[in-house]
Structure 1
Amino acid sequence: MTRTHRATKFLPILAAAALALSSCGGSSAGADPTDINPTGEIEAREISWLLSRPADGGVIKTMEQIADEYAKDHPGFSLNLITTPDRPSYIQKYETLAAANKLPELFDTDATPFAQKLAGQDRMVDVDLLLKDLGLNDEYREAALNYQRFDDGSLYMVPFEFQLEFFWFNKDIFKSAGVEAPKSLDDFPAMCKALKAKGVNPIALDGQDQWPLERYMSYYPFRKTGSEYVQKLKTGEAKFSDPEGKAAAEWLQSLGEAGCFQKGFSSTGYADAQALFTSGKAAVYNTGTWELSNLATETLDADVRKDVDYFTLPTIDGSATADNEYVTPSGIGMAVNAQTYDPLVRDFLAFALERYPELYASTGALSPTTGAKTTVPKKATKLYDRAIKQANDVGSNIAMPWDTQLDPATNTRLQQELTLLVQGDITADEFVITMDATLKENVGG
């Protein structure tokens, strides 16, 4: 479930794709994104889904099962999964196909400015209207749908997942260091110093993929203003030197000075960062419920398992967001191509979206809907069940991952500069100066 960074080498291609998209003028061959119930016969054929998900993951396996079931009653139907798990490669393919007006019937996308441009050109079916027409809109978790919405509140993507991101921690290590779970983000530096003094790594971090460190950059602004700051930042209406961005940079600098992350974190991969925590060599690990099978079942070593607990994103003094509002993503969404939408696509979606929640929840995962009960594994710990139940007490304001919001060029530079900031190679002041210049170059303002 990792989100790999958008590599710099792809930027010229993506820029060209965006330019081509603009120049094509949004030609949609008369497509109407609000015509969610087209008339005509259901004629079975192959439809395709361009997606960026693990090939062996629960989403793909569930949808493959559903497609097979649908094909039994619709001979000639098949679902062609065009899978590109590597995120930078996927974005390159997706935006290039969009620019050439060759997107398939279904395609994955985050709620990015690029996707919103497609929607504005009437090239994506209005999912709000579709779910209402199918009688499914009230089935979905509010937070799951909100994660997929554009800043104007419109909805053009269907969620297939729902996750909660926690700070997992080792109670025994905390006790030996004389610290408690932080109540405020401002408690992190002191917590790290106390843990480091005991000879343990305070926080295990996958620095190699870069997006986990970017999560930390998003936390302080979210607690100060909710999603408002990043919404303005990505369009150039806000700056990194604004109070929210400056506070975030100074907080990240303080984490680096306190030695919060393991030595050499920038070259530590996802599996190795997780291993630091699961082996008891790190006290804290920030990750999502997609890791429940590794952190809340008997898969975890017994010596560590008994001491594992979690806390949610702490607030700050005067926080604009509530305790139960934090990072609760519903993953990359699925958009429906308005140009190829016909009675078959609608009928398959009606069947799939009705069938999906129960099948997906049976894998032990959280469904994006409220009615499907997650099957908790027999070898799960009490934390597994607690985490599942916590999904029913999530606020509507979501801490959006910045790598799904910022333009690729700004995002890549941000990830690079964050590593330098936390390593102590640059100061918070130098960081915001560089990032303001980068933002101005890429989006203006």
Structure 2
Amino acid sequence: MFRTSRKTAIVATVAAAALALTACAGGAQSVDPSNVNPEGEIVPREISWLLSRPADGGVITAMQQIAEEYAAEHPGFALNLITTPDRPSYIQKYETLAAANQLPELFDTDATPFAQKLAGQGRMLDIDALLEDLGLADDYRETALNYQRFDDGTLRMVPFEFQLEFFWYNQALLDQAGVQLPATLDDFPKVCEGLRAAGITPIALNGQDQWPLERYMAYYPFRMVGPEYIQDLKNGDANFSDPAGRAAAEWLSSLGQAGCFQEGFSSTGYADAQALFTSGKAAIYNTGTWELGNLATESLDSGVRDNVDYFTLPTIDGAVTADNEYVTPSGIGMAVNTKTYDPLVRDFLAFALERYPTLYAATGAISPTVSAETVIPGGATPLYEQAVSQADDTGGAIAMPWDTQLDPATNTRLQQELTLLVQGDITPDQFVETMDAAISENRVE
């Protein structure tokens, strides 16, 4: 009953936002999205950025410093950060402001169907054109930009991050169980069974936040048919009942049957899942380079630290994507509101995007550009630098996180059904049938 009520509420919110968005589109007074260098004087004022990022994270820290430096040269300027770290709350605020045509100068968004509607109405600046005009286009990693693109190839968001997602593993635990690393996705159940037989938790999973399990749903279709599957799925040109979707459901079910995840995974939070791995209780942990400071550090217990390594997303027989193509996100992007775009906003962005990569890379993070070298922090193990260097060897296809692609109602239902599937509460057939009905019901034209 709870799931049905929650879904209905979300669908109603999304439908209302979509209707309001359509209604207000005709009244929005936007500039030409390709007019990235408007004429006029630079008049300092406060501008705002609606964002959903950790308040103490590298992105906000760097941009706050940049804003202070810019303000010192332009008295009267200020950057107002409207922060909502909780992503569901942020999305609701963002879509409500968009529907009322009240978005600020800058705002965070993924390349969702909702955002594409905004772009189609000319309400988001052409970032390809902006970067070319600023002479920065060649500085950005192609994969970082491509992650932000809509399905039609247009770019309306600036990336501020670049991450690589790996499977971290503890070699000592694998040796103890007498199992090898999975060479293919289909090897995972056998590896899990061997670890379970040795009394070892195979894979640590943050099931509470739900998106980590959703990553697993994306893996098989990406290897089987490529990134086009999720694009076609959200656009109504593919179904969960198609071979790729069914194969993914069957693979997830097999992971559950093999006991791949810890007992009670659905209620395990982020910190506890990480602790399972870093304490040497779990053999494998799927996460991104944002955790390098926790996984490639001398502060780890030596019994774990000396046995930690990583592997990238395994392939399958007949895979259409390359070994060096996997989940390489550049995070939520920043869009520029054409309605409020003026010489000041352009000048600030020119200053910020030039200065940002060096400041961000100094925190030990991988810059979305190739123009700044990551500063390896003190106390890092050699694995830190190894992981960072891998950013220069990624292919062009990206296994997109599905939670950034699907409409909110379908995404919520998918996360719920995935947990039931892995727990064995529903069958792959039931999962496919439910999800095909959900995506058909919730699609907003």
TM-score tier by shorter-chain length is over 0.9
Deviations 1:29-78 (A, max 9, x none): 14211110001000000000000000000000000000000001000000
Alignment of 1:268-347 (within 5 A): 268-347=268-347
TM-score (norm 1): 0.97
Counterpart position of 1:367: 367
- Contact (CA 8 Å) 1:10, 1:92: kept in 2 or not? no
Q: Which runs of 5+ in 2 are unaligned?
A: 1-5
Distance 2:372 2:399 in 1: 25
Counterpart position of 2:159: 159
- Residue 378 of structure 1 pairs with residue 363 of structure 2: no
- Contact (CA 8 Å) 1:14, 1:96: kept in 2 or not? no
Alignment of 1:93-172 (within 5 A): 93-172=93-172
- Three-state SS of the structure 2 residue aligned to 1:391 is helix
Query: How much has 1:22 moved relative to structure 2?
Result: 1.3
Distance 1:155 1:17 in 2: 23
Distance 1:127 1:262 in 2: 43
- Contact (CA 8 Å) 1:361, 1:374: kept in 2 or not? yes
Alignment of 1:13-412 (within 5 A): 13-412=13-412
- Contact (CA 8 Å) 1:28, 1:122: kept in 2 or not? no
Distance 2:385 2:90 in 1: 34
- Residue 443 of structure 1 pairs with residue 424 of structure 2: no
Deviations 1:216-256 (A, max 9, x none): 00000000111111001001111000000000000000000
- Contact (CA 8 Å) 1:10, 1:88: kept in 2 or not? no
Distance 2:401 2:310 in 1: 20
- Contact (CA 8 Å) 2:33, 2:123: kept in 1 or not? yes
Q: How many residues align?
A: 440
Is the deviation greater in 389-398 or in 174-183? 174-183
TM-score (norm 2): 0.97
- Three-state SS of the structure 1 residue aligned to 2:115 is helix
Query: How much has 1:444 moved relative to structure 2?
Result: 7.8
Cα gap change, 1:335 to 1:444, in 2 (>3 Å): closer
Give the aligned residue type for 1:166.
F
Query: How much has 1:27 moved relative to structure 2?
Result: 3.3
Give the aligned residue type for 2:127.
V
- Three-state SS of the structure 2 residue aligned to 1:24 is helix
Query: How much has 1:439 moved relative to structure 2?
Result: 1.1
Give the aligned residue type for 1:130.
L
* Moved segments of 4+, more than 6 Å: none
RMSD over aligned Cα, in angstroms?
1.2
- Contact (CA 8 Å) 1:169, 1:285: kept in 2 or not? yes
Counterpart position of 1:417: 417
Query: How much has 1:182 moved relative to structure 2?
Result: 1.1
Distance 2:364 2:275 in 1: 22
Distance 1:12 1:84 in 2: 22
Deviations 1:367-407 (A, max 9, x none): 00012000001200011000000000011100000000001
- Three-state SS of the structure 1 residue aligned to 2:339 is coil
Query: How much has 1:183 moved relative to structure 2?
Result: 1.1
- Three-state SS of the structure 2 residue aligned to 1:366 is coil
- Contact (CA 8 Å) 1:8, 1:412: kept in 2 or not? no
- Contact (CA 8 Å) 2:193, 2:260: kept in 1 or not? yes
Cα gap change, 1:285 to 1:193, in 2 (>3 Å): same
Tell me the percent identity: 75
Distance 1:378 1:109 in 2: 34
Distance 2:261 2:432 in 1: 21
- Contact (CA 8 Å) 1:157, 1:336: kept in 2 or not? yes
Query: How much has 1:299 moved relative to structure 2?
Result: 2.5
Distance 1:115 1:382 in 2: 40
Query: How much has 1:13 moved relative to structure 2?
Result: 2.5
Distance 2:146 2:47 in 1: 27
Give the aligned residue type for 1:169.
Y
- Contact (CA 8 Å) 1:182, 1:314: kept in 2 or not? yes
Q: Which runs of 5+ in 1 are unaligned?
A: 1-5
- Three-state SS of the structure 2 residue aligned to 1:23 is helix
